[in-house]
Each structure stands twice: as C-alpha cells, then as structure tokens.
A and B are shown apart, each in its own frame.
Chain A
C-alpha cells in the first residue's frame, strides 16, 4: 500500500513537516510525522480525538516547540521567524476567545488592523453574523463565537489559514456556509490546513487528507484515493432470521470478514457479495432481514488502515 503520497503537481510547498515528534510526559502526541502541503491546496488532517491533530498544527503555527523534526512554512521556521510567519498565516484555535466586553465590530476592526492587506470582503456578513456586529462578544452563542473566530483567521488575507475544528458546534446550515466561504477563500489563492474529525467535511472540502491515529500518519491521499485503497470492498449488514455458522460465509471466496454487532451481522467482502451471502443463507433456511448494502467510504478506509472504528479510536487513545 502506498502511504504518504506527495502533493500533486510540482508547485511550491506551503508546508513541510519532516519527522516531527512531540511527547507530553509519557504520552506520545506526535510520532515521526511527515507531511507536505502544496500552495493552493485544501489539506485535511483527520483523526479521532487524541490522534495528535491539534499538537501538529500548534507546532506548525509556532505555539508549541516539537521535540524533534523539521518544520517549514513558506520556508520560514515557525519559531525563529515567528513574526514574519504570523503576518502570512491566519489561525483559528479550538478554544480561542476575545474580550467579553468588546463588540464584534471592534474586535473585527482590531484584527483587520493587524495586517497590511486585509480582505475587502465582509466576512462577518458572509458568515451570517451581520446582525451581531454591535453585540458584545459575551452575548454571542457558541456557534457565533466559532464563526467569528474563523472570520478573524481569514481577515488578513493569509497565504495559509490553519483552522482547527472550524465547524464543531455549528448547525448544518452554518456548517455549509463555512464550507462555501472556505471554497471561495481557496479560489482566491489561500492554502488551507483544516483539522477535523468530521469525515463528511474532509470528503467534501479537502483535496488531500492525512489520516492521523495515535500520533502517526496512517495515510495521505485524496478522499477518493483513500476510499479507493479499500476499493471494491463492500459491507452487507442484516439481521439473520435464525442462527447459522459463520464458517458458512467465511468459506465463500468473496467474503473477507464476518462480524456480529448485537443481533446484526456485518459481512465485508468484494465481488458478488450480496447474492453469494443471501443464497448461502437460504441454503440453511436463514433469511437476511433488514438488509443494507454499502460501498466503501473514508470511514471504511480509516477502519481498514487502523484496524479500529473511527469513533472508538478516541476512547482507546485517551487516558
């Protein structure tokens, strides 16, 4: 299996991460991570909680010092060239805050003034906060704060924007608004690094995705490419009408795996899976009820590449 595929084309690199490691005490947050992001790309860093995504981007923007490894953003060292870097990089942190008793417009004006060439576009309006312009920050809801934070990360017309969990806590409509905005920002030439644990977000927005699990890069590819790494693999999920021997199914040439989940059975395999399984079960007078059939997604890719479900991974790696 081909891992760590580089960016397409030979354009200049926005981000180079080489062999980056970071531990907190006994916990390994990053374990020899290497990634490259081309200029103009939307690059997703995807993984369960505790996979090291946030640590990776915090190193990237100079908020943390890695234990070892090499980092370059537009050729700059995030620590040594911090101020030069921050003039070109917009950052949205997971828990960022602004003074409670400043109004949205006052915060916006201040962040706008930090940059030489801020956007003319009204990001506050674009993210549906137009009617909150004169509200104090403390009066905003969680989702509104989140959108303001994203807007301020983009206000300086950054060459690179690093957005950590930008749509967490947003309702579906607001999430789609943010995605639309991100596509527009990229169309104007900004490179984006998005940290997310939403599969859908990565599938719909990213050119390439790095899958992180327990501090390691499991795979880097386009969302389709990753799903393609498990291409042909399909799931069949049903409730059997009676007991049967798993060996009946695992003996079939196209079946890879048979799993039980409560009363349900999940069969993974390829080829003419559906017919083979249904006919075999019929042979022992078992019917497949509530049958559903799906093809592989990014979620399956994660399962295949890491050996565990996306949602479970966080529980395993979290102390």
Chain B
C-alpha cells in the first residue's frame, strides 16, 4: 500500500496561516464587529472632543477637563468592545452551526483556532487605539501619551486580560446571539467599574477598591498614569496580568467544540 504516515503526525504550520487568512476574509466580509470596536469609540471621541466646554479644566474633576477624564475611558471602550463583543462572536457562531464540530475532526488544535481570533482582534484593537491617539492629538490638540512605554504596556496587558475574558464567553456560549448577550452584559458591568457612568474620581472608596481589582478599572488607572507621564502603578499591571492568566486557563479548560 502506498500510504506513508504523515511525517511527524499532527498538522503542518501552513494550516495556521490559511486558517488565519480565511478568518481575516470573514472579518471583512461581515464587518459589523469591526464597526463596534473601531468606529464607535472614534465617534464618541469626536462628540466629546468637539465641545469646547469639555476641554475646560474644572475643580470638580480635580483640575482636569471632562475630556481628560474620559479619554482613558474611550481607550478602554475600544479594547473591551473588541474583546468582549467582537472576539467571541465567530467562535460561538461556529459552534452553533456545527463548524467547530467539523473542525474538531481535523488535526487542527483548539489553541490555533483561538490564536487566529486573538491575532485578528489584537490587530483591530491596535488600529483602534492608534487612531484614537492620533485623533485626540491632531484633531483636538490633546498631548499624546507622555509615557509611551507605559501606554503600550497597558494596552498589551489590558488586551491580554480582556481577550482572555472574551475567550471565556466564546468557550461557554452555545450560539452567536448568546455570545453577544453575555459579552454585552459583561461589557456593561466592567465599563461601569471603568467609570463610564461614574468617573473613578467620584467613586466612593469601596467602589474604587472594587474597581481597582477589575480589569477595566486597572486599565483606566494605567492609561491615566501613562497619559500624564507616569509609568502605570505595579498593582494595576499585576491585576491585569492576573486576569489574563486566570481567563486564559479557564477558557482553554472549558472550551467545547459542540
């Protein structure tokens, strides 16, 4: 018989790239997710930025302007919309339609399927953050992040933590629409602690304490530091790292193919 055992069994690495290319095609052919993560924060920034009174420093914001207070929250908005709403959707939809089940009969490892989604969403988030920085700088004369390293470190750790949570949603949700609902719920809760409705400077001490332990609370603190020129505090970065590790472990453990 002319059968040879597949060399070194398992799967060729080119499989990852063909799969990634298809996932990118799908992301562009169904751009709803890109709009939520990219367009919405930019629209919000333009709305905030074009009102001059939002630029006036005010005593009740601790000498900051409303724009100062909300700029880090807009960054966080982009990161969390992409990781909680955009990222889980394809995976849960694949599960719903039996696409994952069929993939699970091929040599393709689970981790590769997750990695492809991670790569796409991290790239989208990087573009979103870059656009927000450029627009705030050139559009509204806001200084670019004073501590660039701190800003990049915060972005990466925050993305790691939030994408890990996005994967937990993707691992659990049986259908695309349930992934959307779960993701949106987690988004609303975490955005509360990020200060979307009640900025952190106004939060009572106990809320601030809780906020510090949530991934988005820690992210807002870190972005605020980096924008102002300081390296983000260690506790905030540690919080993000802890969420990233715990979320990743949980997602890989509970991920189901069908």
Contact A87 B26 (CB under 8 A): no
> Which secondary structure dominates where chain A touches chain B?
loop
With A and B bound together, what is the CA distance between A221 and B4 in angstroms? Answer: 30
Contact A40 B22 (CB under 8 A): no
With A and B bound together, what is the CA distance between A254 and B159 in angstroms? Answer: 82
CB contacts under 8 Å to A, within B26-42, are 26, 29-30
- Chain B, residues 82-123, CB within 8 Å of chain A (1/0): the string is 000000000000100111011011111100000000000000
**Does chain A have a CB within 8 A of B19?**
yes
**Does chain B have a CB within 8 A of A93?**
yes
**Does chain A have a CB within 8 A of B188?**
no
Contact B11 A87 (CB under 8 A): yes
With A and B bound together, what is the CA distance between A68 and B29 in angstroms? Answer: 46
**Does chain B have a CB within 8 A of A128?**
no
For B26, list chain A residues within 8 Å (CB).
Answer: 99, 101-102
Contact B99 A97 (CB under 8 A): yes
Q: Can you give 17 contacting A-B residue pairs, CB < 8 Å?
A: A83-B107, A84-B9, A88-B5, A91-B105, A93-B101, A93-B102, A96-B98, A96-B102, A97-B99, A109-B18, A114-B106, A114-B107, A115-B107, A116-B8, A149-B102, A188-B2, A189-B2
* Cβ distance B19 to chain A, nearest Cβ, rounded Å: 6
- Chain A, residues 83-112, CB within 8 Å of chain B (1/0): the string is 110111101010111110110001101110
- Chain B, residues 1-27, CB within 8 Å of chain A (1/0): the string is 111111111111011011100100110
With A and B bound together, what is the CA distance between A62 and B19 in angstroms? Answer: 23
With A and B bound together, what is the CA distance between A209 and B105 in angstroms? Answer: 24
With A and B bound together, what is the CA distance between A69 and B106 in angstroms? Answer: 24
**Does chain B have a CB within 8 A of A197?**
no
Contact A93 B10 (CB under 8 A): no
With A and B bound together, what is the CA distance between A244 and B202 in angstroms? Answer: 99
User: Interface residues of B, CB < 8 Å — how many?
Assistant: 36
With A and B bound together, what is the CA distance between A95 and B22 in angstroms? Answer: 21
For A91, list chain B residues within 8 Å (CB).
Answer: 102, 105
Q: Which residues of B contact A (CB under 8 A)?
A: 1-12, 14-15, 17-19, 22, 25-26, 29-30, 94, 97-99, 101-102, 104-109, 257-258
User: Interface residues of A, CB < 8 Å — how many?
Assistant: 36
With A and B bound together, what is the CA distance between A189 and B4 in angstroms? Answer: 11
A83-B10, A93-B98, A99-B99 given as contacts; is B105 within 8 A of A63 (CB)?
yes
* Cβ distance A108 to chain B, nearest Cβ, rounded Å: 10
For A61, list chain B residues within 8 Å (CB).
Answer: 105
For A157, list chain B residues within 8 Å (CB).
Answer: 3
**Does chain B have a CB within 8 A of A113?**
yes
For A113, list chain B residues within 8 Å (CB).
Answer: 12, 14-15, 17-19
* Cβ distance B90 to chain A, nearest Cβ, rounded Å: 8
With A and B bound together, what is the CA distance between A176 and B11 in angstroms? Answer: 33
With A and B bound together, what is the CA distance between A188 and B1 in angstroms? Answer: 8
- Chain A, residues 26-38, CB within 8 Å of chain B (1/0): the string is 0000000000000
Contact B11 A189 (CB under 8 A): no
* Cβ distance B50 to chain A, nearest Cβ, rounded Å: 37
With A and B bound together, what is the CA distance between A61 and B105 in angstroms? Answer: 7
A63-B101, A101-B26 given as contacts; is B3 within 8 A of A189 (CB)?
yes
